[in-house]
Chain A
């Protein structure tokens, strides 16, 4: 039996046309994607942030050896890496949307966005390498 074209197929086609018009808009030029990523990272950052804050408070009364031992254990290493990556992805989108509101020249906007992106990537790389060094060097 041949499948009749369903209403949902027609709707999907229309949505695709609409989607094509809004793609590459927004401060990351990716339409809805960055909005979703901002919310998803926000959700992830609630438990990750609380875990990190509690850990830092606990570490505040200890020394480098304790901090290094803490970062060398698997669960803290993983959670700190996830916290840093989610936090920087969240910050990248947030800063880009701030820049988009106040920088009105195309070239300056691009320069600012590239600068923010570069800074986020360098900080992410340095943080992950630092944790990995401690984790792998046990």
Chain B
């Protein structure tokens, strides 16, 4: 009988696990945040420059595309922050049991949703 060997069998033979999905997501959000540092530097420069540059930057951020990007980056930020704390706990030797790893994984997802929702509620509520 041919048994599945490794994740490249995904998604037909290899069962989806939240642990590996969150691990990949940590990398993807990390890359996204690194790209986001371009906007961060750009924004700081525009505040320092003021005038037309700031107006153009503000217009871009306030546009639908800008807001969508900001929403994505804020979600990525809160996810990478929460899951980063989970990784630091692992580095310190805690939470390696399978049940704990699953539980902390769901906690990270809940924290991401909660922090992102709170942040955007604060922005949009008067």
> Using a CB–CB distance below 8 Å, which chain A residues touch chain B?
39, 42-43, 45-46, 49-50, 53, 57, 60-61, 64, 67-68, 71, 80, 84, 87-88, 91, 94-95, 98, 123-124, 126-127, 129-131, 133-134
B residues in contact (CB < 8 Å) with A: 27, 30-31, 33-34, 37-38, 40-41, 44-45, 47-50, 54, 58, 74, 77, 81, 84-85, 87-88, 91, 119, 122-123
Cross-chain contact A42 with B88 (CB below 8 angstroms): yes
Taking a contact as CB atoms under 8 Å apart, the answer to whether B41 and A126 are in contact is yes
Known A-B contacts A46-B85, A64-B58, A130-B47; the reply to A39 vs B122 at CB < 8 A is no
Dominant secondary structure at the B interface: helix
Which residues from chain A contact B34 at a C-beta distance below 8 Å?
A: 91, 94-95
Q: State which of B31, B37, B48, B85 has its C-beta within 8 Å of the C-beta of A98.
A: B31
When distances are taken between beta carbons in the complex, the residues of chain A under 8 Å from B38 are 123
Report chain A residues within 8 Å CB of B54: 64
Q: Given A61-B123, A68-B50, A87-B37, are A53 and B77 neighbors across the interface (CB < 8 Å)?
A: yes
Given A42-B84, A61-B123, check contact A98 B44 (CB 8 Å): no
Q: How far in angstroms is the closest Cβ of chain B from A32?
A: 13
A126 cross-chain contacts in B, Cβ below 8 A:
41, 44-45
A117, chain B: closest CB distance, angstroms: 12
With A39-B88, A46-B85, A123-B37: A130-B31 Cβ-Cβ less than 8 Å: no
- 25 A–B contacts, CB within 8 A, in A order: A39-B88, A39-B91, A46-B81, A53-B77, A57-B119, A57-B123, A61-B123, A64-B47, A64-B50, A67-B47, A68-B47, A80-B44, A84-B40, A87-B37, A91-B37, A94-B30, A95-B30, A98-B27, A123-B38, A123-B40, A126-B44, A126-B45, A127-B40, A130-B41, A134-B48
